[in-house]
Amino acid sequence: FFLPMEAKLEHAISNIMSQPDVVGVLCTDSNGLCLAASGKVPAKSSGYIRSLALRTKEVAESGGEPLVAVENETTKILITENEEMTVAIFKSK
């Protein structure tokens, strides 16, 4: 059974959104353009999310894909990337 890339992405986002405390998911391409978003995600955040992932990769020396965590009093954002996209998961605290 073959699913197009969009359906796979929507399915993955749906699975992430069903996790406890998750309030939003954002996926960007390598240029920081939004590929998909769900839930409470700031409208103009895709470029910033991509930039954070790139800058972290520059300073991390582990060779693996770094995980960025940004927090304030109410929200925690987890950011990671692979060869295809950058993903940000927005969680309530």
Rounded CA separation 63/12 (Å): 25
The pLDDT tens digits of the residues spanning 9-21 come to 999 999 999 999 9
| 2: confidence class by pLDDT, cuts 50, 70, 90 | low
Rounded CA separation 59/2 (Å): 38
Q: Which residues pair with 70 in a beta bridge?
A: 77
34 and 26 Cβ atoms separated by less than 8 Å:
yes
Q: Check pLDDT > 70 for residue 3.
A: no
Structure pTM? 0.89
